[in-house]
Amino acid sequence: MVNARLRLPREPSTKRIKRYNHTRLYAGDGRYWLRCASALCAFHPQAMEGVLMTDYFGSCLCGTVSFEIKGDFDSFYLCHCQHCQKDTGSAHAANLFSQSAKLIWLSGADAVTSFTLPGTRHTKSFCKLCGSALPNTQIAGLLVVPAGCLDTELSMAPTAHIFLSSKAAWDGEAGEVPEFEGLPD
């Protein structure tokens, strides 16, 4: 047996997210590749079965929770409502919505909890250990996925900004603010 690799070698910041018999799918830095114990890995149709462009993988910050989304997203909204500002601690939430995609928990499902703001439809699922926002299905027939929890690169552009009447006053002209590749010196 040989250790054949497709695309990239495994880096320390990666983790195995799915296993197909003797083939494993790894993720890291928004990239995916297969590692196989067979020299025929590149020719294994079973290894790629179910790994399509409409499959997305994600995880929480601490790595306890990982998941797969099978299907397409209908919309991608940047929500500026006050509830989303509070629960993200930011100017807006960035959420993907789907009425047909399926959520599959790969690990840590018992570490996922949810909160619904009383008297509203505002709901959030998150990791009990690190607090990372995670997909939720609290509204019947609707899957809501925080875009930032995806490990798969997302090619979909935001559909719209919503609830701009609640936009934070400090969320102004970003073009006038200095930009840095990392932390400023």
Structural domains of the chain, with CATH: 4-51 (no CATH), 68-169 (3.90.1590.10)
- On the 0-12 / 13-18 / 19+ scale of CB atoms within 10 A, 105 is middle
Is residue 58 classed as helix, strand or coil in its secondary structure? strand
- What pLDDT band is residue 3 in, cutting at 50, 70 and 90? very low
Question: Residue 156: is its pLDDT beyond 80?
Answer: yes
**For the chain, what is the radius of gyration of the CA atoms?**
19
Question: Does the model's pTM come out above 0.75?
Answer: no
